[in-house]
Amino acid sequence: ERIIFVTSNRNKAREAGRILGLNVEPVPLDVPEIQSLDLEAVARAKVRAACEALGDPDLPVLAEDSGLAVNAWNGFPGALTRWLMQSVGNEGLLRMLSGYEDRSARALCVVAVAHEGSIHTFWGEVEGEIAPEPRGSGGFGYDPVFIPAGQSRTYAELGELKNELSHRARALRAVREWLGSP
């Protein structure tokens, strides 16, 4: 069984391969991202644009939008996480959060699957908190500052364990189940 995973982020594609154990074909297509705070709308738009660019292949096409939602900030940066990471990074995030008592956050992932003419979406969410300082060298993005609930280590310190319990793992396992049932 093969699927196409459209992303400009090779870390995402690598994790998807690990999580799914399927034959994940990474397509490094940088489709334009619509401006919206709605992760699901962004993921749908990405997969639609990807299908147009690919000319509607027979295989299921996956794309995802993901982000970190800080509870003290009413869910910001959410779908804007990419811009926060690119502009001020984890150091900026930590500086902006200093002074807030509530450091809880959610790691979110919405995978959109285009298959046989329609688009389906699958959510993955992990609760956790923002670490006082960056720790660990694995992963990417906000991994050094996100501690999933029930763990003492950051995503970046968890290594392969991240792919067992992450927001992406939850969303992609739901995709696999759905693809597996005709």
Which residues make up the interface to Na ion (CB under 5 A)? 65, 79, 82
User: What is the smallest separation between the CB atom of 4 and ligand ITT, expressed in angstroms?
Assistant: 13
Contact of residue 61 among Na ion, ligand ITT, none (CB under 5-8 Å per partner type):
none
Residue whose CB is less far from ligand ITT, 57 or 134: 134
Residues near ligand ITT (CB under 6 A) are 7-9, 12, 30, 33, 64-67, 81-82, 85, 139-143, 155, 166, 168
Q: Which residues make Cβ contacts (< 8 Å) with residue 132, sequence separation at least 6?
A: 94
Residue whose CB is less far from Na ion, 69 or 169: 69
User: What is the smallest separation between the CB atom of 113 and ligand ITT, expressed in angstroms?
Assistant: 14
User: What is the smallest separation between the CB atom of 151 and ligand ITT, expressed in angstroms?
Assistant: 14
For 129, half-sphere exposure in the C-beta direction (CA atoms, 13 angstrom radius) is 13
Residue whose CB is less far from Na ion, 65 or 143: 65
User: What is the smallest separation between the CB atom of 35 and Na ion, expressed in angstroms?
Assistant: 9
Residue with tokens 């990074």, as numbered in its chain: 89
Question: Residue 88 carries which side chain, given as an amino acid letter?
Answer: V
DSSP string spanning 143-156? Answer: GGGEEETT-SS-HH
Specify whether 65 is catalytic: yes
Contact of residue 9 among Na ion, ligand ITT, none (CB under 5-8 Å per partner type):
ligand ITT
Alpha helices in the chain (DSSP H): 10-20, 39-54, 81-87, 89-97, 155-158, 162-165, 167-180
Residue whose CB is less far from ligand ITT, 24 or 182: 24
Residue whose C-alpha is closest to residue 123's, from 132, 113, 136: 113
Length of the chain: 182
Question: What positions carry a catalytic annotation?
Answer: 65
